[in-house]
Structures are given as structure tokens and as C-alpha cells.
Structure 1
Amino acid sequence: MQPPSRRTLLALGLLTTLTACTGGSPGHVPAPAPDPDTPARLRAIAATDRLLGGYERLLAAPDAQGALLRPLRDETARHRAALLQGLPTAGPSPTGTPTEAVPTTAGLAALERRAAESHLADLAEVGPDLARLLASIAAARALHAAALGDPTPVTTPDDRDPTTPAATAAAVPALQGVLGAEHAAVYGYGVVGARLADERQRADARADHAAHQARRDAWQRLLAAATATPTPAAGGYRLPFPVTSPADAGRLAVHLETRLTTVYADLVATAPAPYRPQAATALRESAVRALRWGAPATAFPGLPG
């Protein structure tokens, strides 16, 4: 009896199965390639678990400030759930996880700040989606630290103008987009300041206007370094709603900063890695300003939903 031909094996659907097996061993299924983002996810989850342990420890104290701590704890739990989504299996519940002693809100605030900085340290090494998530969570951690009484700025590694020409050229479309958003913000803050009556708010508006001018100038420098012509500001911009009162002015400031958190979260994901630190810093700064102008708290600044 003649052995089956190649055509017969193909007809039976056997040849592909046999040749796909490593070393020709029937039934062998190659292991999936490891996800290079997994170590960074696990580090972020570990930092989140330390925070959750700290919140639970403080909430168990007789004099716990529950109205302050519970919303922050709940947002931290949402961060953990989002980080777990990139892993093949869910991690264990952090309940009962050993944690550093965090006897005060000041200690917990410092832990939030250190966790934010650890997330940002991984930005250059991870894929676009995880980079955007880490930048958003780091911004939320900075807001948590401020709510807990620690105004110390979060330090973003290498938050300087990138100088690699290839990276700069590749980033031109994304940089033109954020430059356009900053032009609109500079214009918008001119309207905000003109409609405010309270001097303290006017001072805040002037400071925020100057901050957006500085950020605009930074993107213009980077575009010029790439021999690209920065997109100029328009002669005027359509406002999202009429601004005729101080309340409208505050709403406009919230709108401008909230929109910029989305713009910068997207930049973290779309621009080359050398630009992620600057984008993450701008995301965090806009999230802080949005909250100060009255935006509702969010667990994921800059992310949809």
C-alpha cells in the first residue's frame, strides 16, 4: 500500500497540523510570546496595592477622615482594575496585602506621589496604550497627593525638549495638533480673564494664561527644530458656549483644561517615546488646573469614559 500523498494530507487537513508542531511532535502548541508590557503592569499594580493597603489602614482608624479617603481609595481600586485588564489572568485581591505603615494622611500623600513617579519612569519602555494609561493614573495620583495635603510637584523623568532629529520629525503631525490646542487655550484664557470679577480668580487666570503661552512656545521650538513651520494661531476661535459672566468664564476654563487633558493623553500614546514625559507633564498640569476651576473629579484624567 502506497503512503498517502501530500495532496491527500492537505485534503484531510493534516499536513498543516503536523508541520505546525514544533519538532514535529503531535499536539504541541507553541507558547504565546510574553507581553513586554507585563513587568511594567506588575510594578504599577504593586504600587497600587501598597496604596490600597494604606487607605484601608487609615480608614480603619477611629478618627478616619472617611469623606476624604473613601473617594480616593475607590479611584485607586479602579486604577488597579484597569491595570489588570492587560494581564492574562486577574491578580489576587489586595485585601490583606502587607503594606508600609502609613499612619498619617501626609504619609499616604507621599506614597501617592512616589507611585506617580514610578509610573512615569516606565513611560518610555511600554506600548502606546499602557503609556497613556500610566500617564493618566500618574495625573490622578498627583491630584490625590494634593487632596491629602502634599503640594510637592510630581517629578517627571527627562521632561526636557527631545533633541533626536529622527524622533522630532516623526512627531511633527502630533506636535502640530497639540500646538493648535494650546493656541486655542491661550485665546480662551484671554476671554476667561476678561469676564472674571474676583481678583484672586483673575490672578489664577493670568497665571494659567502664561503657562499655556509657555507650553505653546515649547511646542513651537520643537517644531522649528524639526525644520517644520509651526502652525500659527487663528485670528479667532469659536467658543463652545456664550461667555457673559464670571460663572461662564469658570466653565470655559474647565472646558479648556479638560480638553487639553485628552489632547495630551493622546499625545502620550501617539508621539515617539522621547515626547512622552513632556506630554505626561502637560496632562497632569491641565488636570490640576481643571480641578481647581471646578471640574468634577475623575479617576482617569484625559481618558474617555
Structure 2
Amino acid sequence: MTALPRRGFLTLAGALALGVTGCQLSDPRITGGPTAPPPRPTPTPVPDIPGLEAALRHESDLAALGKQALAAADRLQLGAGQRAALGWMSRDHGVHLTALLAPHPAERPTSPPTPGPRFTPRPEPTSSATLAAAARDGAIRDLTGRLDAALVDYRASARGSRGQMALLWGSLAAYARAAQVALVRDAPRPDPLVVPVRELEPWSDAEAEQQVLRQMHALVYGYQAAIPWFRRPESQTAYDLLVHWRDLRDRVTRLLRDRGQTAPAAEAAYALPVQPTDRNTAAELLWRMEAAFIPFAGAWLAAATEDESRRMAAEALEEAARLCLEWGGPMTTWPGWPG
């Protein structure tokens, strides 16, 4: 498969197990010397994170509800695609929870933090985290409604944050949007890839916008190549999305030029990761291109220094994560982060 220029298909890491060791009663003991224990060092203050308490509640409850729905899959008559999505979601919400419990959640640790003076125990699901619906449609509505509630809080936290913390909240919001699609659209999907966590590229806001603009040019080219292989109403949907990405491309171009920065132009042609020959290959082309765009949108969100640019980046990240799932692509634990 040929990769697009300046593009990487990036995915993210899952949770690792934590090993704990301890002293035995037979350990040697030292006698004599001072009787008073040495003073304990003052713990490094951990900054308060607005929105953290609500996020812990959301992720704990969503993990519990996902497991309940999966356990009741036969009774609810859930399809194979929905069952797979619930399995991924139960795992991913646990990964999110582990990161949020850490002193620095934007580092996305995959092991629970070591208990200490500022240790936050893993929260228990609230009393409302009970799947009461007796039928499939009701259960899906319950789950998507809980994702909606989380989405509102994550968007608010992203607006009030900067840098990697903005991306942390934006990534959780993008995941909630994508998870809703996976629950509603009972479709087979590729398994998520699990790769080591990587750090963000240290781009300035202008560099991130230039990179994301290059990817938008390629994304527009891909939609133009895919549209002829769809029938209505999908062809109209794809065309509307082409218009959407063109509009965002033009807005980013204006942002760069208004700051006196160079706005990269489109290339004459792009090597597509999939050459469309029918409806299915056209859909695969689009989900692969949306998936490849997601990390660039995340880097843009983390690098943004102005409110308008940050809002555009967060919306682009959410939309790309949603569309990747709409066209049949896989879920990603941390949309927007390089993997």
C-alpha cells in the first residue's frame, strides 16, 4: 500500500499491567544509629485540573456500562460489530481512566500511579451506571446519551486548556464522537492497532497549521477520487464532506496568510493508499485518509495559541475521528496523538 506524502498512519497504545514487589520479613535489619526516621521530602505539588472530577466519573461509568452491555449482548440482540465496539470501549475507557488518575494525565501513563500523598484511588462507578434498558435500541440510546454528556464536559475542558492538556480533552471528545458511531452503525471494523506511545512533534502554531493544510489538500484529492464510486445517498454525503473539507482548507489558508505565513499549495496529484475500484474500496480510501489526518489535527490542537485556531482544530479532530468510523475504519484509543 502506498502512503501519502508527508503522512503517517498512526495509532495509539493500550494499557500495561503493573508489577508490585515488597519486602519480606526475613530482610536484614540495621541496628544502632539515629532512632528518628529521616524527614520525608515534600511532595511535588500537583496542579488542580479543571474538569478532572467529572472526567473520572464519566470514564468510570462508561467502562462499567460497556461491560454490562457486552454481558447482556445476547439478550439485547446486539450485532457482531456492536459487540466488538463494546469490547474496545470497555478497554479504552479503562485506559483513559488510568491516565486521568495520574498526576500528569497528558503523559498518558499506562500503569496506575503509585500510592502517595496525592494519590487518587480508582473511582467506583456511580449509582447511575446501570444499564436498565431491556431492548437493543434503548441500550444504545442510553450509552450514546452518556457519551453525549461526557462530550459536553470534554469540549468545555478543551476550550479552557492549552498545549497537551487541550489535546487530552480534545482526544477524549473525539473518542466519544467516534464511539457513538461505532455503537449505532453495526458494521465490521478492523481491530485497533496497539503501538507504543509517542510524544508530539514540537511544532509552532504556524508549523502545525502548515502541516495540517498539506494534509487537507490530500484529503480533498481523496474525496474527489472516491465520490464517483458511490451511489446516492452516499455520493451526496461524500460530496457534502468534500465541500466541508474544502471550506476548512480555505479557512486555514486565510489564517496563515493573515499572519504573514506561507500557505502550502496543493500538489498536482497524490499517491492514494487505496485505489478505488468499487464502493467498498472507495470507503476504505476515505477512512484511511481520515485516520491519517487525525494526528495532524491533534498536533494542531496542541500547538494552537489562539482561541479561534484552537476551536477549529478541536472541531477538525472530532470530525475526522467520527468520519473514520462512519466510513468503516477502526476505533483509536487516543485520537489525535501520535502512536
Pairwise same-fold verdict (TM > 0.5): yes
Aligned to 1:157: none
Q: Which has the higher contact order (CA 8 A, sep 6+)?
A: 2
Aligned to 2:206: 172
Q: Could you tell me how far apart the structure 2 residues matched to 1:107 and 1:96 are?
A: 15
Shift of 1:44: 1.6
* RMSD value, Cα: 3.1
Q: Could you tell me how far apart the structure 2 residues matched to 1:59 and 1:248 are?
A: 30
Q: Could you tell me how far apart the structure 1 residues matched to 2:233 and 2:180 are?
A: 24
Contact 1:189 1:209 in 2 (8 A): yes
Aligned to 1:155: none
Aligned to 1:231: 264
Aligned to 2:216: 182
Contact 1:53 1:95 in 2 (8 A): no
SS in 2 for 1:114: helix
Q: Could you tell me how far apart the structure 1 residues matched to 2:316 and 2:328 are?
A: 18
Q: What is the letter of the counterpart of residue 298 of structure 1?
A: T
Q: Does 1:77 find its partner at 2:97?
A: no
Write out per-residue CA displacement over residues 192-216 of structure 1, whole angstroms, 9 at most, x where no aligned residue.
123x153333223212211111111
Query: Equivalent of 2:132, from 70, 91, 103?
Result: 103
Aligned to 1:258: 291
SS in 2 for 1:227: coil
Contact 2:158 2:166 in 1 (8 A): yes
> Identity, % of aligned pairs?
27
Contact 1:54 1:108 in 2 (8 A): yes
Shift of 1:81: 2.1
1:126-145 alignment runs, 5 A limit: 126-145=161-180
Query: Equivalent of 1:47, from 58, 64, 79?
Result: 58
Q: Could you tell me how far apart the structure 2 residues matched to 1:147 and 1:238 are?
A: 29
Contact 1:53 1:94 in 2 (8 A): no
Could you tell which deviates more after superposition, 123-132 or 60-69? Answer: 60-69
Contact 2:57 2:123 in 1 (8 A): no
SS in 2 for 1:122: helix
Q: Could you tell me how far apart the structure 2 residues matched to 1:184 and 1:102 are?
A: 43
Could you tell which deviates more after superposition, 123-132 or 55-64? Answer: 55-64
TM-score when normalising by structure 2: 0.65
Query: Equivalent of 1:214, from 240, 247, 256?
Result: 247
Q: Could you tell me how far apart the structure 1 residues matched to 2:230 and 2:149 are?
A: 38
In terms of Rg, which structure is larger? Answer: 1
Q: Does 1:35 find its partner at 2:36?
A: no
Shift of 1:232: 2.0
Q: How many residues align?
A: 259
Shift of 1:51: 2.6
Write out per-residue CA displacement over residues 78-126 of structure 1, whole angstroms, 9 at most, x where no aligned residue.
2212323436546434445433665343233222111012112112444
Contact 1:115 1:138 in 2 (8 A): yes
Aligned to 1:18: none
Q: Could you tell me how far apart the structure 2 residues matched to 1:203 and 1:34 are?
A: 50
TM-score when normalising by structure 1: 0.72
Runs of 5+ consecutive residues of structure 1 not aligned to the other structure: 1-25, 151-169
Q: Could you tell me how far apart the structure 2 residues matched to 1:91 and 1:29 are?
A: 19
